[in-house]
Structure 1
Amino acid sequence: MVLAAALFVSGLLVLYFGAESLVKGSSRLALSFGVRPLIIGMTIVAFATSMPELMVSLSAALRGSSDIAAGNIIGSNVANIGLILGAAALLKPLAVPPSTLKRELPFMIGASLLLFLFALDGRLTFGEGLLLFLLLAVFLGYCLRRAREQGLERPAPEALVARERASRNKDLLLILIGMGGLGAGAELMVRSAVTIARGFGISELVIGISIVALGTSLPELAASLVSAARGQMDISLGNVIGSNIFNILFVLGICPMIRPLAIDPGVLRFELPVMLLFSVALLPLARHRLSLGPVKGGLLLCAYSAFILALFL
């Protein structure tokens, strides 16, 4: 059991640093080709920060641990809103753009509701995964179109492009190291999580929703807290909403296309409704005064703590 715990922590560290390496390498490589920073943020970085969830869920699905695969995404989405957004709001009030209330938040809620409906028959199939993945393409297309309409895109500075162009080989190496780290870290985490769950008589679903989900949410947690501390509040909110959308449409889009995922009936009675509740509750919280302050942040943290406590009880 001690060895399994050590392997889990090791896998978590490898996963985290792998994600960091992938984000840095892919962002710099894109800049070296003159890709605009805004597009990098909405596509490459969003993709990279969802890679821990993808690799863990995919590894679990291939090993036949569907509970960890699905639980990881459900738990990660709840943690993104309750823990990460709650902690960021507690650190510094987060301003909520009106456009987010009208578009991105409803899209996140819609994706969560669609996942719930797909899971009602107890499994996620190839066709359902394909539809989720196609919706991701629609969402990304919408983001890019909105950015162009609002004139937010700016060409990457030529000096920056020239500097990054000289280090393409280094960036490619960072990407390869990152991908290798994500794969190795995910495998270590899944193997050890299954061992720990069986050793303590805890279900794989609970381990996936709590410990594994928290581990794969570390990149989002770090990004949101740093953004809030620097006064970039819109990044914290956008990070959470974008991550939740990617987790559902990207991760649970790809995994069922490779291997259908079985959904535990208990998930439909508690965990998935809670995920949907957190998503829906964020809308009135954000609409009130168009901000998320310390009081709302504390409320989100308390709700998340109650959710985790209920899992183990």
Structure 2
Amino acid sequence: MLTAILAIIIGFVLLVWSADKFVESASATAFHAGMPPLLIGMLIVGFGTSAPEMVVSAMAALEGSPALALGNALGSNVVNISLVLGFAAIIAPLTVQSKIVTKELPLLMVVVLVLGAMLWNHTLSQLEAWALLIGFFVVIFWSIYSGMKNKGDAMEADTVEDLKTNTMSLKVAGVWLAVSLALLIGSSRLLVWGAVDVAHALGISDLIIGLTVVALGTSLPELAATVIAARKGEHDIALGNVIGSNMFNILAVIGIAAAIKPMENIGSEIFWRDWMTMMVTTVVLFITAISFKGKKGRINRFEGAILLLFYIGYNGYLIMDVLK
């Protein structure tokens, strides 16, 4: 089991490093290709920070562990809102200015509800998986349309500043893009193998490992990107990272995993405990961050602390459940 634990540690380190390089090189490549800065912030960064979840869940499904794949996606969404945004809000209270962010929040709510309807019968069929993937591409095209329509948005100015600090040439960016993608896939496979091996050795289900250890590890890129953005005062990027990542996790991560291996006989706890937890955290985010009747959305330090406590309580419950 020592080898499996080392595989998890090495896999996490390589995963976080390669994901960061992937986002940086992909952003530089897109910028040199003339892609609008706002779309780079919304799509490249959002997609890049979700890349670990996508690759890990795809590998888990290919290796016959769909529960780990589902747990990774649901757990990552809970981590993103409760731990990532909670920690970021404690560092710097988050104020929402971007119209795009406020439009994406209701869309995220719809996506979460659609997944709940699919999980209600404790199965996730291949047809439902393809529906999620179609929804993913619809969201992508909608984001492109919104980005082109909302020139001069607050989120665009923040993204332009970030891109100016990225000095990669097109050639260097292309090389790093290929290298980081290869490392992303390799480290994900190493992580999945180690996590499954440890879970089986300790008698813990793949689902619990996915909801806790793997979900936290694959959410580290979001944590780093969001905290850095919050410290720099780029609140819309911080929130945009989490909202975009959570939509990608449901539509693409779960969609890809279930398309590879349909999920049958899913335990009822996935709906009543895990999906419900994700739903509650999403509702809390919606209530605090949405702008309403002239009131700007804002997550203050107190609300950030509440979100952090929510994360601790949920993971504490999972651990106590395992120790019974």
Q: TM-score, normalised by structure 1?
A: 0.91
Equivalent pairs counted in the alignment come to: 307
> Aligned pair in 2 of structure 1 residues 120, 138: CA closer, same or farther (>3 Å)?
same
Cα deviation, residue 21, structure 1:
2.0
1:41 is matched with 41
- Encode CA deviations 1:144-198: one digit per residue, 9 max, x unaligned: 22233232388x89xx8xx86xx43322221111111111111111111112112
Answer with 59-68 or 191-200: which moved more: 191-200
Cα deviation, residue 258, structure 1:
2.4
1:213 is matched with 215
* Residue 299 (structure 1) aligned with residue 306 (structure 2): yes
Separation in structure 2 between the aligned mates of residue 65 and residue 36 of structure 1, nearest angstrom = 39
Separation in structure 2 between the aligned mates of residue 94 and residue 62 of structure 1, nearest angstrom = 39
Mapping for residues 223-302 of structure 1, pairs under 5 Å: 223-262=225-264, 263-287=266-290, 290-302=297-309
> Aligned pair in 2 of structure 1 residues 18, 101: CA closer, same or farther (>3 Å)?
closer
> Aligned pair in 2 of structure 1 residues 188, 152: CA closer, same or farther (>3 Å)?
same
Separation in structure 1 between the aligned mates of residue 201 and residue 125 of structure 2, nearest angstrom = 31
Mapping for residues 1-313 of structure 1, pairs under 5 Å: 1-97=1-97, 99=99, 103-152=103-152, 167-262=169-264, 263-287=266-290, 290-313=297-320
Separation in structure 2 between the aligned mates of residue 304 and residue 214 of structure 1, nearest angstrom = 11
Answer with 171-180 or 278-287: which moved more: 278-287
Percent identity, aligned pairs only? 36
Cα deviation, residue 101, structure 1:
7.5
Separation in structure 2 between the aligned mates of residue 295 and residue 84 of structure 1, nearest angstrom = 15
Separation in structure 1 between the aligned mates of residue 178 and residue 146 of structure 2, nearest angstrom = 32
Cα deviation, residue 102, structure 1:
5.2
Separation in structure 1 between the aligned mates of residue 27 and residue 304 of structure 2, nearest angstrom = 31
Answer with 81-90 or 22-31: which moved more: 22-31
Answer with 5-14 or 71-80: which moved more: 5-14
Answer with 201-210 or 65-74: which moved more: 201-210
Q: What stretches of structure 1 of length at least 5 have no aligned partner? A: none
Separation in structure 1 between the aligned mates of residue 151 and residue 138 of structure 2, nearest angstrom = 20
8 Å Cα contact 2:101-2:236 kept in structure 1: no
8 Å Cα contact 2:42-2:240 kept in structure 1: no
After the TM superposition, list the runs of 4 or more consecutive aligned residues in structure 1 that deviate by more than 4 angstroms. Answer: none
* RMSD of equivalent CA atoms: 2.2
Cα deviation, residue 299, structure 1:
0.3
8 Å Cα contact 2:289-2:298 kept in structure 1: yes
Residue type of the partner of 2:226? S
Cα deviation, residue 203, structure 1:
1.6
Query: Does the residue aligned with 1:123 lie in a helix, a strand or coil?
Result: coil
Separation in structure 2 between the aligned mates of residue 53 and residue 299 of structure 1, nearest angstrom = 25
Separation in structure 2 between the aligned mates of residue 251 and residue 152 of structure 1, nearest angstrom = 31
Cα deviation, residue 223, structure 1:
0.4
Separation in structure 1 between the aligned mates of residue 145 and residue 194 of structure 2, nearest angstrom = 43
8 Å Cα contact 2:93-2:298 kept in structure 1: yes
Q: What stretches of structure 2 of length at least 5 have no aligned partner? A: none
8 Å Cα contact 2:66-2:261 kept in structure 1: no
